[in-house]
């Protein structure tokens, strides 16, 4: 099949960007979306033009490197799928697709479709961990964890940090990302000692990084490649109120 | 030159003895020492976090935008530990025994024993960090049997164990970054090692956004930069995984151990098109319930459902009645290749075998199978468009892991003093074949529990002169790196980097892949230098060195693969025996099984770089087996 791509091209963080149209021919249904872009880049390079910069690494939906908007939808809009796993069999000959980077103040564009997501790392630095210096751990079975709590912790920990939730949110909020880490750690007995401090610090870091706030659009859950539920934002808010009141009482 | 520094005494006491003999650094002095750690996967992140906690001044480098992206994240199956929580006969000795035997007697006994001992601490550590391992209803940890072992010692977090273990290490690392003990340098790729007076004292990096070439000095350098499976172009490795850091160190004097030892994983989704960029692994836990078969007849193109039971060849069950579908990876892969070479392969191009769950669904019901493997079945359907609950999966072997890597001693130090190597980047613990669920174990053992002892010991027992980046050695290496980048960018030839990489990959897969012959290896040894010449005269990199330039990043990595590939073939040629994943067609038993030759090849090959226009020199570290007696492996 043949496709028309309108791709956001931007030389670096300071330059102005613009959409440029390209034709991609001989795309086969068994290619992945990124393999289609590889093909575009091979053709561009053969013609002496700069290839489109896009981030990717594992190409199996787990590293969280890839991601951009396809016709305005993060990762292309197939439920539970990162763009690297998106198959070309979902597209048809003659389709016209617009590709642009995540748009959020906290994620500045570096070049073309690549953005700087280091704000996520800084939210984790604020409290997205359980302090357990190497060597001092008790036996792994010393603390029992109810299966349901372990399952919820896992559901939350499945987040790959790709940033789609921020890109999809009209407010560019990072609340799904932050609440997933808070829910993961706050659900486990090992996470209880730092529960209040973690919640307060991570929420504060999120605000400092210029992310917006949740107004319940639910776009984040809809595009999340790991299907993290918006319910976790409710849990985070509950933990935040709890922590704030707790602190006031101290 | 090859002093393995294995402590004396009984094997159970070697690590304790070594730890007691190690020198310590006073806590107040630790912050005066700088440690460079390259790589932020399981080994690198675990080491950076642990050394930061101890108070060292750590600089950690990653070419990714965040340390959480390292390819350890993609490991699916699980992590072994000799906890014996199942009361099923497991023990440290049995994990040690299985690993030495599974590695086909080409690993060091002392290292493997230490790995088995530490395995129990790793699980404790990870649980304390909040890694959400699978649990039973009573709240205890669940385990499963995995990859050809007969005890249930594999801990797992659904099909995403690597992700959860890496996030645990990443979070510990981020905590140290916030505490100021670790400085994280993301989007920074190591392009060379700086050696001063015979000791590793720093690195040269390229900032992948601005293109700036930068120098960094330290008292000790650790490489935890992963494996080099992408030399084959198509592999299950992430696209960015590369050999550059260890290869540059090799060119500066670090010996390269067992470069030809490559693991070809039996359960991957077959190649489907010419533009394919990578291969996807399906966890081998699938072999616990799936049955592997091909049609008995050659060229049988009927749909699998219409091939009657008595016209199917369940070849693993037939050839290996006691292990059946659970034979080790190397055996399963080689058998798949054989049946496809016989013309009995299935799917497009005949390069695939069936992995059939219909019996398991009958026995366990579909919901139970879905609970165990649902995410893998979903992934398979996403990629192939086929529903594996209804039709058998098609699988084929793919390059997955490299057991070879930089040679290290028992302390994980390479042949360059002050250069330590951890995780998949070193050669140490897996011999000629890695058992399932052992890679995560080794990466974390090295990072959490070995380097935090051996690295301080090196610092405390060496008199390290004060060196910073103003030393002329840094300027000299920086100049070399800049020239190399400029040279590459200015070739302005006709071929893309990928086209050369693909050509190299095909050559390696055909002649240095699952079966290797003298003829094929010699042919590669003649052709690789030609392809290297083609690269250096005809590659076309668009753009320059001082910008965000992904073609240039790839080109630098492919340039190093083009040198490494030659060494892999050379190593495969000299090892005229079959062992583990290395199958030399000239060395097989009458019934076609791998034939090891312990009299001639019971050693680690360690290659020394002698310069671009000189031959490599082979050193041999003899291997002694005192506790696990040498036997020909048999899974019949």
Residue B522: which pLDDT band, with cuts at 50, 70 and 90? very high
CA distance B227 to B225: 7
Whether B276 has its CB under 8 Å from any CB of chain A: the answer is: yes
SS3 annotation, chain A: CCEEEEEEECCCCCCCCEEEEEEECCCCCCCEHHHHHHHHHHHHHHCCCCCCCCCCCCCCCCCCCCCCEECCEECCCCCCCCHHHCEHHHCCCCCEEEEECCCCCCCCEEECCEECCHHHHHHHHHHCCCCCCCCCCCCCCCCCCCHHHHHHHHHHHCCCCCCHHHHHCCCCECHHHHHHHHHHHHCCHHHCCCHHHHHHHHHHHHHHCCCECCCCCCHHHHHCCCCCCCHHHHHHHHHHHHHHHHHHHC
- Mean confidence (pLDDT) of chain B: 96
Q: Same structural domain for residues B125 and B237?
A: yes
User: How do residues A222-234 score in pLDDT, each as one tens digit?
Assistant: 999 999 999 999 9
Averaged pLDDT, A170-174: 98
Query: What residues in A contact B45, CB-CB < 8 Å?
Result: none
Whether B385 has its CB under 8 Å from any CB of chain A: the answer is: yes
Burial class (CB in 10 A: 0-12, 13-18, 19+), B75: buried
Torsion region of B87: left, alpha or beta (phi above 0 gives left; psi -120 to 50 gives alpha): left
Query: What residues in B contact A137, CB-CB < 8 Å?
Result: 121, 124-125, 127-128
Q: What percent of chain B has pLDDT over 90?
A: 91
Q: What is the dihedral of CA B598, B601, B603, B609, to 10 degrees?
A: -170
* Number of compact structural domains in chain B: 3
Q: Same structural domain for residues B219 and B276?
A: no
Q: Same structural domain for residues B484 and B418?
A: no
Contact present, B21 and B149 (Cβ < 8 Å): no
With residue B523 as reference, give the H or E element that holds it: helix B518-538
Residue B603: which pLDDT band, with cuts at 50, 70 and 90? very high
- Mean confidence (pLDDT) of chain A: 97
CA distance B85 to B146: 15
Averaged pLDDT, B265-287: 90
Q: Same structural domain for residues B233 and B138?
A: yes
Angle A118-A121-A127 from CA coordinates, rounded to 5°: 150
Hey, is B603 helix, strand or coil? strand
User: How do residues B33-83 score in pLDDT, each as one tens digit?
Assistant: 999 999 999 999 999 999 999 999 999 999 999 999 999 999 988 999 999
Contact present, B540 and A50 (Cβ < 8 Å): no
Q: Same structural domain for residues B394 and B439?
A: no
Domain of residue B288, CATH code: 3.90.700.10
Q: What is the pLDDT of residue B146?
A: 82
Query: What residues in B contact A46, CB-CB < 8 Å?
Result: 496, 540
Contact present, B317 and B291 (Cβ < 8 Å): yes
Averaged pLDDT, B329-347: 93
- The nearest CA of chain A is from the CA of B575 a distance in Å of 32
Query: What residues in A contact B379, CB-CB < 8 Å?
Result: 60-61, 85
Q: What are phi and psi of B137, to 5 degrees?
A: -65, -30
CA distance B290 to B284: 10
Tell me if B64 and A146 make a contact (CB, 8 A cut-off): no
Spell out the long-range contacts of B360-365 with Cβ–Cβ below 8 A and sequence spacing 24 or more.
B360/B289, B360/B290, B360/B291, B361/B389, B364/B289
User: How do residues B477-488 score in pLDDT, each as one tens digit?
Assistant: 999 999 999 999
Domain of residue B135, CATH code: 3.50.50.60
Domain of residue B557, CATH code: 1.20.58.100
Tell me if B83 and A140 make a contact (CB, 8 A cut-off): yes
Q: Same structural domain for residues B222 and B73?
A: yes
Query: Complex ipTM, two decimals?
Result: 0.98
**Residue B328: count of CB within 10 angstroms of its CB:** 27
Q: What is the pLDDT of residue B13?
A: 98
Give whole-number Cα distances, B546 to A11, A173, A233, A234, B209, in Å.
Answer: 12, 33, 42, 46, 8
Q: Is residue B50 part of a domain?
A: yes
Query: What residues in B contact A42, CB-CB < 8 Å?
Result: 496, 498-499
CA distance A214 to A166: 10
Tell me if A138 and B50 make a contact (CB, 8 A cut-off): no
Give the domain-ending residue among B374, B398, B422: B398
Of B177, B184, B238, the CB nearest to A63: B238
Look at residue A123 and tell me whether its pLDDT is greater than 80: yes
Concatenating the DSSP letter of every residue in B531-553 gives HHHHHHHHB---S-SSS--HHHH
Element counts in chain B: helices (H) and strands (E) = 17, 19
- Which of B30, B329, B516, B532 does the annotation list as catalytic? B329
Q: What is the pLDDT of residue B159?
A: 84
Q: How far is CA B8 from the centre of its chain?
A: 29
CA distance B107 to B100: 6
Residue B373: which pLDDT band, with cuts at 50, 70 and 90? confident
Tell me if B385 and A11 make a contact (CB, 8 A cut-off): no
Residue B1: which pLDDT band, with cuts at 50, 70 and 90? low
Q: Same structural domain for residues B486 and B571?
A: yes
Tell me if B141 and A57 make a contact (CB, 8 A cut-off): no
Tell me if B278 and A114 make a contact (CB, 8 A cut-off): no
- The nearest CA of chain B is from the CA of A46 a distance in Å of 7
Q: In chain B, which residue's Cα lies nearest the Cα of A78?
A: B382
User: How do residues B100-146 score in pLDDT, each as one tens digit?
Assistant: 999 999 999 999 999 999 999 999 999 999 999 999 999 999 998 88
Domains parsed from chain A with CATH numbers: 3-111 (3.10.20.30), 118-249 (1.10.1060.10)
Tell me if B547 and A11 make a contact (CB, 8 A cut-off): yes
B329 is catalytic: yes
Q: Same structural domain for residues B255 and B341?
A: no
- The nearest CA of chain A is from the CA of B262 a distance in Å of 19
| Contact residues, B window 142-171, toward A, CB-based 8 Å cutoff | 157-158, 160, 162-164, 167, 170-171
Quote the domain boundaries for residue B54.
34-263+401-461
CA distance A67 to A241: 33
Whether B277 has its CB under 8 Å from any CB of chain A: the answer is: yes
Q: Is residue B22 part of a domain?
A: no
Q: What is the pLDDT of residue B377?
A: 92
Hey, is B415 helix, strand or coil? coil
Q: Is residue B466 part of a domain?
A: no
Hey, is B284 helix, strand or coil? helix
Query: What residues in B contact A201, CB-CB < 8 Å?
Result: none
Q: How far is CA B517 from the centre of its chain?
A: 24
Q: Same structural domain for residues B254 and B392?
A: no
Of B121, B178, B498, the CB nearest to A125: B178
CA distance B353 to B394: 5
User: How do residues A178-207 score in pLDDT, each as one tens digit?
Assistant: 999 999 999 999 999 999 999 999 999 999
CA distance B67 to B44: 9
Q: Same structural domain for residues B175 and B304?
A: no
Q: Is residue B10 part of a domain?
A: no
Tell me if A30 and B382 make a contact (CB, 8 A cut-off): no
| Contact residues, B window 36-75, toward A, CB-based 8 Å cutoff | 46, 49-50, 53, 64-71, 73-74
Q: What is the pLDDT of residue B416?
A: 98
CA distance B411 to B495: 44
Q: Is residue B498 part of a domain?
A: yes
Q: Is residue B448 part of a domain?
A: yes
Q: What is the dihedral of CA B556, B562, B567, B573, to 10 degrees?
A: 160
Q: Same structural domain for residues B131 and B232?
A: yes
Give the domain-ending residue among B367, B382, B398: B398
Give the domain-ending residue among B363, B383, B398: B398
Tell me if A30 and B174 make a contact (CB, 8 A cut-off): no
Q: Same structural domain for residues B340 and B454?
A: no
User: How do residues B181-223 score in pLDDT, each as one tens digit?
Assistant: 999 999 999 999 999 999 999 999 999 999 999 999 999 999 9
Q: What is the pLDDT of residue B528?
A: 98
Tell me which DSSP letter residue B297 carries: S
Contact present, B120 and B81 (Cβ < 8 Å): yes
**Residue B433: count of CB within 10 angstroms of its CB:** 29
């Amino acid at each position: 099949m043949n496709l028309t791509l309108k791709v956001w091209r931007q030389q670096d963080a300071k330059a102005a960007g613009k959409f440029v149209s390209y034709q991609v021919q001989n795309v086969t249904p068994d290619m992945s979306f990124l393999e289609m872009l590889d093909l575009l880049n091979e053709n561009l390079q053969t013609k002496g033009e700069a290839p489109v910069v896009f981030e990717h690494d594992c190409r199996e939906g787990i590293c969280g490197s890839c991601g951009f908007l396809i016709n305005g939808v993060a990762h292309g809009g197939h439920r539970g799928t990162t763009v690297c796993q998106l198959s070309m069999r979902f597209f048809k000959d003659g389709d016209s697709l617009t590709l642009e980077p995540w748009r959020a103040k906290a994620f500045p564009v570096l070049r073309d479709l690549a953005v700087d997501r280091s704000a996520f790392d800084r939210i984790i630095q604020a409290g997205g961990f359980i302090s357990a210096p190497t060597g001092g751990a008790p036996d792994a079975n010393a603390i029992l964890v109810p299966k349901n709590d372990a399952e919820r912790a896992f559901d939350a920990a499945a987040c790959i940090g790709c940033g789609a939730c921020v890109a999809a949110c009209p407010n560019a909020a990072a609340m799904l990302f932050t609440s997933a880490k808070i829910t993961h750690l706050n659900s486990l007995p090992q996470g209880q000692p730092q529960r209040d401090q973690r919640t307060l610090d991570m929420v504060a870091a999120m605000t400092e990084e210029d992310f917006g706030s949740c107004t319940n659009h639910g776009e984040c859950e809809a595009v999340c490649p790991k299907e993290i539920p918006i319910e976790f934002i409710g849990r985070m808010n509950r933990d935040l109120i709890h922590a704030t009141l707790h602190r006031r009482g101290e | 030159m090859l002093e393995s520094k294995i402590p004396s005494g009984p094997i159970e006491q070697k690590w304790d003895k070594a730890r007691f003999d190690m020198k310590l650094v006073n806590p107040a002095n630790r912050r005066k020492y700088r440690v460079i750690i390259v790589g932020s996967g399981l080994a690198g992140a675990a080491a950076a976090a642990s050394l930061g906690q101890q108070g060292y001044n750590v600089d950690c480098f990653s070419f990714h935008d965040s340390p959480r992206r390292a390819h350890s994240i993609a490991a699916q199956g699980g992590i072994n530990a000799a906890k014996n929580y199942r009361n099923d006969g497991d023990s440290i000795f049995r994990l040690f025994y299985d690993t030495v035997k599974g590695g086909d007697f080409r690993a060091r006994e002392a290292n493997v024993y230490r790995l088995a001992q530490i395995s129990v601490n790793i699980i404790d550590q990870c649980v304390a960090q909040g890694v959400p391992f699978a649990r039973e209803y009573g709240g205890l940890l669940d385990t499963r049997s995995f990859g050809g072992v007969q005890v249930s010692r594999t801990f797992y977090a659904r099909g995403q164990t690597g992700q959860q273990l890496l996030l645990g290490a990443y979070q510990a690392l981020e905590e140290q970054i916030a505490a100021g003990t670790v400085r994280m340098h993301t989007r920074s790729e190591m392009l060379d090692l700086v050696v001063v007076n015979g000791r590793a004292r720093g690195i040269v990096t390229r900032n992948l956004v601005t293109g700036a070439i930068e120098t960094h000095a330290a008292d000790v350098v650790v490489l935890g930069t992963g494996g080099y499976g992408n030399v084959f172009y198509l592999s299950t490795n992430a696209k960015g995984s590369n050999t550059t850091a260890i290869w540059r160190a090799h060119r500066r004097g670090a010996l390269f151990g067992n470069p030809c030892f490559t693991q070809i994983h039996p359960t991957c989704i077959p190649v489907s098109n010419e533009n394919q960029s990578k291969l996807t692994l399906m966890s081998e836990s699938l072999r616990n319930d799936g049955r592997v078969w091909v049609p008995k007849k050659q060229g049988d193109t009927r749909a699998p459902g219409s091939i009657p039971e008595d016209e199917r060849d369940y070849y693993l069950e037939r050839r290996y009645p006691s292990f059946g579908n659970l034979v080790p990876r190397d055996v399963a892969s080689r058998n798949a290749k054989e049946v496809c070479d016989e013309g009995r392969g299935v799917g497009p191009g005949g390069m695939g075998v069936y992995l059939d769950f219909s019996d398991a669904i009958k026995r366990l019901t579909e919901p139970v199978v879905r609970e165990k493997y649902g995410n893998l079945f979903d992934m398979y359907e996403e990629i192939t468009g086929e529903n594996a609950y209804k039709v058998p999966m098609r699988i084929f072997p793919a390059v997955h892991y490299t057991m070879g890597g930089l040679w290290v001693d028992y302390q994980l130090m390479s042949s360059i003093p002050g250069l330590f190597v951890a995780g998949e980047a070193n050669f140490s613990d897996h011999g000629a074949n890695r058992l399932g669920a052992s890679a995560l174990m080794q990466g974390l053992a090295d990072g959490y529990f070995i380097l935090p002892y051996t690295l301080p010991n090196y610092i405390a027992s060496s008199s390290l002169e004060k060196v910073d980046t103003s030393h002329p050695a840094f300027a000299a290496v920086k100049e070399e790196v800049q020239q190399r980048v400029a040279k590459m960018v200015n070739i302005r030839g006709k071929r893309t980097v990928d086209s050369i990489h693909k050509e190299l990959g095909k050559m390696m897969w055909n002649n240095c892949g699952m079966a290797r012959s003298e003829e094929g290896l010699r042919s590669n040894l003649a052709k690789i230098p030609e392809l290297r010449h083609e690269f250096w005269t005809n590659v076309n990199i668009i753009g320059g060195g001082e910008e965000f330039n992904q073609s240039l990043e790839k080109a630098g990595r492919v340039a190093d693969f083009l040198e490494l590939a030659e060494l892999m073939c050379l190593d495969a040629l000299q090892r005229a025996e079959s062992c583990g994943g290395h199958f030399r067609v000239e060395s097989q038993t009458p019934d076609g099984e791998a034939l090891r030759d312990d009299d001639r090849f019971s050693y680690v090959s360690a290659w020394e770089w002698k310069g671009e226009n000189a031959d490599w020199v082979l050193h041999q570290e003899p291997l002694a087996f005192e506790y696990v007696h040498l036997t020909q492996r048999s899974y019949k």
